[in-house]
Amino acid sequence: MIQIPALRFGKPYQSLDKAQLIHHVTGEPVAEVSQVTGSQISRDVGLTPRLHKELTAIPVRDLLDIYKKAADHFVNSALPCGDTELTFDDYIRNLSATTGSPMVFCRRNALKVHYVLEHVDEVLGGLMRGADLELLDNGYTLKGGRMQAFFPTTDVFGATLPSNSPGVHSLWVPTIALKMPLLLKPGREEPWTPFRVIQAFIKAGLPAQFLAFLPTDHAGSSDILRLCGRSMAFGDDRTMAPYKNDPRVEIHGTGYSKFLFGEDEADRYERYIDLMLEGIAGNGGRACVNASAVWTPKNADAIADTLARKLGPVVPRPWDDPHCEISAFAKPEVAEAINNMVEEGLKTPGAEDVTARYRSGPRLVKEGRIAYLLPTIVRCDSPDHPLANKEFLFPYASVIECPQADILHGIGYTLAASVFTEDARFIADVMACPHIERLNVGPLPTNRLTWDQPHEGNLFTHLYKQRALNIAPSQPVAV
């Protein structure tokens, strides 16, 4: 059994209190992860003003070279993991074993992390909207003859991370290139990816003192969000509610992502079916950018039936099967609770689980220690139905018919929207819609991301704030 330590800004720490991770299928122990306390977190955060100054002194070009090497090590090297070393394939197998996400999903998402490591200069170029990267060395730069100056908002960036998909780790990966010490609290079942990224950085030449890996409990997570000047947190609406209006915390929560049809394209819905299937069911439906609703001015019955006919035959497969389409729930009680929520919603008149026509059994499938939820398409007669604006941790989407003129007034918060229309006026209305964060116009699924654009906030503007700066002639300036 692998013993994974905490890393307290470069210093490995083995605690007496450990969280045991088990294989989701066999129940066999896979790893034990050392835990830290709130007082230890507080002491470690106290080190960060000094560490921030030291990291700031490293030229950004040197950090970018480290990223390129770290990208190579992430996929090609055997890297330390507690008391052993793991190849990339070992890492994928352990990641799948403890999270329940199939190996094929784990590999695909881990390669997103590799992409950001390898292309971090392009990612920064997008997040900084084309500003010269030397801005990070000097604190200012000239663009188009105009002064641009920024100062850091904190001495450390903290992240309390989830266990649902390794792809989300791409969001915090650029932090070190932005010259900010990094404090990570891993998801309970997913220490593998953050620990491996840290080891790749260290092997690439980054001093370990700038990196912290602090597994902890719920109270410790709250301490991280309270003590770090800027942070990132993942969770559902209820969990994230205390931080909703806290500018220090960048929230990554429920996405309520959607497909929107214009009147002109609703009759040609069949050309978009494969895109909608990818947006709804890609990555097992567990990402915030997975679509949880389809809004259309007409043909809602036909759209729901076509999607259901495609998704209805999906069945559970073993976690190491390359043809897996859905993820297991390592805790069957979670799947049962979600299934009960769907069934309770269906008791309200005006909704039908259309996939039940094509499914060979119940939505909830139990196999040994684990459970699955099979894809579900619900046709809702009204946008006000309880299931019309829901999001769950499996491939689920409601289909709602609504006049084009009313769609944007009814959709509510939408992390990612894909709009199918060639109506210039409707496109203009969608472009101006304040409810949508990420927008795809044309035949693109909601889960198609570009890492050089903001995602539920911009990491650069989260860590840096713009200021006015005038420098007198011949005045020396140093950062």
Domain layout of the chain by residue ranges? 2-253+456-467, 257-441
pLDDT, tens digit, for every residue of 42-91?
999 999 999 999 999 999 999 999 999 999 999 999 999 999 999 999 99
pLDDT exceeds 90 at position 363: yes
User: By mean pLDDT, which of 19-33, 142-156, 397-411 is the weakest?
Assistant: 142-156
Instruction: Provide Rg for the chain, Cα atoms.
Output: 23
Residues 306 and 273 sit within 8 Å (Cβ to Cβ): yes
Asked if 35 and 41 touch (Cβ cutoff 8 Å), the reply is no
pLDDT of 453 above 80: no
| Percent above pLDDT 90 for the chain | 90
CA-nearest of 65, 26, 102, 35 to 110 is 102
Query: Domain spanning 2-253+456-467: which superfamily?
Result: Aldehyde Dehydrogenase; Chain A, domain 1 (3.40.605.10)
Report whether pLDDT(141) > 70.
Answer: yes
- Each residue's pLDDT tens digit, 146-183: 899 999 999 999 999 998 788 899 999 999 999 999 99
348 pLDDT above the threshold of 60: yes
User: Taking residues 314-321, what's their average pLDDT?
Assistant: 95
Question: Would you give the DSSP letter of residue 356?
Answer: G
Looking at residue 145, its pLDDT comes to: 83
Lowest mean pLDDT among 132-146, 208-222, 386-400: 132-146
Rounded mean pLDDT of 386-412? 97
Determine whether domain 257-441 maps to CATH 3.40.309.10: yes
Q: Give the number of other Cβ atoms within 10 Å of residue 62's Cβ.
A: 10
Residue 292: CB atoms within 10 A of its CB come to: 27
How many CB atoms are located within 10 Å of the residue 466 CB? 10
Q: What is the C-alpha to C-alpha distance for residues 211 and 361, in angstroms, rounded to an integer?
A: 48
Tens digits of residue pLDDT in 187-235 = 999 999 999 999 999 999 999 999 999 999 999 999 999 999 999 999 8
- Residues 293 and 261: their CA atoms lie apart, in Å, by 11
Mean pLDDT of the chain: 95
